[in-house]
Structure 1
């Protein structure tokens, strides 16, 4: 700057005015050099690096470009130039150097933030990322990095050692715990969720307390995002997955089968012994022909062996329509092509009640897709409702308005008669 000052004085400009002009020219020159250096870094260097990185098959190089790590790192170049020319202003050199150091710390924090995001991006390309997500840990590292960066900035501003500020933070630990309570709880919960493999990205979970029922989209330090089946997104605190209960359907999906557990209520008044005509009819049913023949042979042998008088139907053993119906349904679900053959398939009676005798279908579909599962379940019970009358059985239901009108019309007809 002294060279510019002397040059302006030689031009006949007053010393005071020349001093101001020299300062302005020096600042403008430094700014121009910084802008030129920044332009060269971004336009020339990045233009050379970008095609090389973009064509690379290595994932980390692609994410390095997407997260603009090099672009953000280029902002250090103007700071270095300003620091180098700070000697031109001896009066303010200390302040300029301090400002440059603060600026460089901020730039490095931004670069580290981008690098950590890049690390998470690279990690998510591996299959293990769904089982062991690290986003929560990366967020913890970010908090620590920004706290350290904030301490360095404050220590530079006040001109004190960072160790003094760290000792002061120890005294404010209670306040720090209060401020970062959710983050600390989230960190602990994240460690437990990951170590115990309780939930992964992509798992289907149900948590009625928070209105969540769908796939896990993201697990972060403080929240878990769940996309419900209606495409809404529910945000759950991470620590809630530890403190509260939830259902993870991963085991069902891994087994390859989804459970069907539904009952149909049979009117108890329609249950009775099979007549010979009914048995002949049942023999014509493909799924029951062998069963009826084997059962008739078994029952006949039992009654003859025990010399039971079968003239009275109460004596000995006999087939009932509900028993034959249950055997038919058992064979029906065993033969159904969409029912899982390797998992439990059962038709059982539950405790009878005021709605009749519950007959429960317990089986698993061989496709866990929701639409396929619901379609299979509907097909099975459509068939049950349609075929029950063929066995002389009635499905129980509460009287409807049509039933009541039918009874009233019947009473009127009998009265008129």
Structure 2
């Protein structure tokens, strides 16, 4: 009996130290959920960074193609004007109808809209008719430059419009008798640029690097605008307005990200030089276009992340329920062992204290929820002895009572 009591004592000691260690799996589960969210966020951020780099590579490629097309168009137009100027040098009268019939038949495949001739005295021939250009064009200045392309200038007849002129001298012998030029109408120039960067979602700019004047600005649709007069833009972190200005002025390649007041989101802006004067080509594209693919991937990732989170939460709460159930079962078993141990002690000493029998029966009744517990001793001479514990209830209160009964055999 002593050995048995020692074993029971050791088992009861597990009541405090033998609880299931459920905090560790719960912690691991929570860490897994946090890890999943962290990894998903990192993947989304990496995808956005890749899309940003991809956007600038695409802008660089498409801007380069446009710059090359513009340079080639200007060169091709100049060659055609040179041919026309050579033919015009054979006419004594540059206002000849025959000459202008030929010039008006000129069909440029490039950017030239029409041909005009600047004469000494700052007079311009258009369709063979004379127009004064005093105060706007100077024969001496243009003749001194030889073959060249002007920057943004006012149109002769429509002073609200802007044009660029591609000049070629008309030479007789060794003397320049006039300057023939092709007129590039800046209002119609975007139509001459056949490229549609970013599927037509990108804006195109041609900027005079010296002055900041826009030759083309499809974003603001302001032919007379100036990039520096727009003021400083709010740059995204890591970008600087002065770096943009210096890059455009110096004719280097670069890109910036700044906030657009027009659409209320960031614009991704790339610029590089054109091999014409100090012109620069620039493209801009809104942020939602840049991250269109990334956003689609993010939606998929977020959907998967939500599913993953719900699965983890379901597992988490199931684990809590499971651990609580196992803990309660374990506790119930330990409580049962404790009760049995206490009953054993009471019965063990019942030969000395008879009331311990009733206390033992009371504990058994408390464990089992029985209304009555009986303990009988048989084998006594001429009789058997029984101990009874009853549960009585009065006015909702539970009362316990006990007693003994004897009977003859």
What's the TM-score, normalizing by structure 2?
Answer: 0.23
What's the TM-score, normalizing by structure 1?
Answer: 0.22
Which protein has the larger Cα radius of gyration, Structure 1 or Structure 2? 2
Higher helix share goes to which structure? 1
Greater relative contact order (CA < 8 Å, ≥ 6 in sequence): 2
